[in-house]
Amino acid sequence: MPGLPKNTHRFSTSHLMIVKKLITPSLTSLLLLSSVLSFASKNSSEDMLPSDCYKEELYDPEAKECYLPCEGLSEAACIALEDKVYGAFDDFFDSAFSGGTSFGSNKDFPKTRYSIVPDLSLKLLKQPRENVKPDGDQSRAKKVWFLTKELFPESFLKKHFSEFIVYYSGNDLGYVKQTDNPGKWILGINLNEYSMPVKKDFVHTLVHEIGHVVFLNQSQVNSYKYDDCFNYLIDEGCARTGSYINSFYQNFWRDIAKENKRTNEDEDKLYDFYEKYRARFVSDYAATNPIEDGAEVFTHFIFKGKPSGDSVINRKIRSLYKYPELRELRRHIRSAMTKAEFVK
């Protein structure tokens, strides 16, 4: 992306092509996520209790987690049970959700940096530059990190993330970026866009950014191979054969990739590209490139039900259901979003 550090994937509030469509959260959505965050002040333990489970769920006392009894069920039956128990989150995904391709004019924006320690707590790092100052509101940063830990599996966060950054910028919602160690990532969140109750587009951003790491982590992309790459080649390296991103590219982008690249992410040219292939994309921002398309399809996969029909969009979304580990990640996130007292 122009103006961005290498291997940075960012969401911003400046619309890629069309005037931004404001998203008004439903009262249920706001209360739900507000309850998740307010719970942080009442219970410092991340372990679940039997009383936290829905009546359809079983409790694993060793893992201290609730889970759906999907063993022995078909994939379709398990997904149907999941949607029945956890409900639908359609309104968390909006096809006109705004994105952007530029970071903004202030490259030296103030930020607060935290290292993520093995138990997933945060440790404030020293600020090496005079113009990089703490945000002055560490409690807000910790609330955002608590929400992140609530939504995503502990094992995933421990494996892939080593640093958490909060900042105040004009139009960016958040980003992920590889560290010098390609196996680890930084998650950055703009506190200008964070508020209580939590907005739907804020949660959309978190899931979108996690989607980048799902598609681009070292199990999917070889960051040490750039030469003689016969798969999809990106800044992060050579996509591995059978990886999510390589399969996604080969099945849904190979015939239009050169045309997309010629846009050079120019907004007017991208608009024309999107209009030409509108039927292929879940959102206009998805037309930016295969990386952003994958993250947006992943976000759609998390929030919406499994589609039927043979459109390219539906086939893209259904392609993620063939991976058991992604179905489990979907189940985890959707379950976490419903763990609020008023829902039960």
Q: Look at phi and psi of residue 265 and say left if phi exceeds 0, alpha if psi is from -120 to 50, else beta.
A: left
Answer yes or no: are the C-beta atoms of 222 and 203 closer than 8 Å: no
The residue behind tokens 């919406």 is: 304
pLDDT tens for each residue of 206-262: 999 999 999 999 999 999 998 999 999 999 999 999 999 999 999 999 999 999 999
Phi/psi for 269 (5° steps) reads -70, -35
For residue 88, the model assigns a pLDDT of 65
Query: Which two three-digit tokens encode residue 191?
Result: 């506190």
pLDDT value for 43: 38
The confidence score (pLDDT) of residue 217 equals 96
pLDDT along the chain (344 residues), means of 10: 51 36 35 38 54 82 84 84 75 57 44 93 72 60 89 96 86 87 92 72 88 96 92 94 97 97 90 96 94 96 88 96 92 79 28
The whole-number pLDDT of residue 145 equals 92
Q: What is the pLDDT of residue 297?
A: 97
Structure confidence at residue 15 (pLDDT): 33
Give the pLDDT of residue 53.
79
Cα separation, 307 vs 310, in Å, equals 9
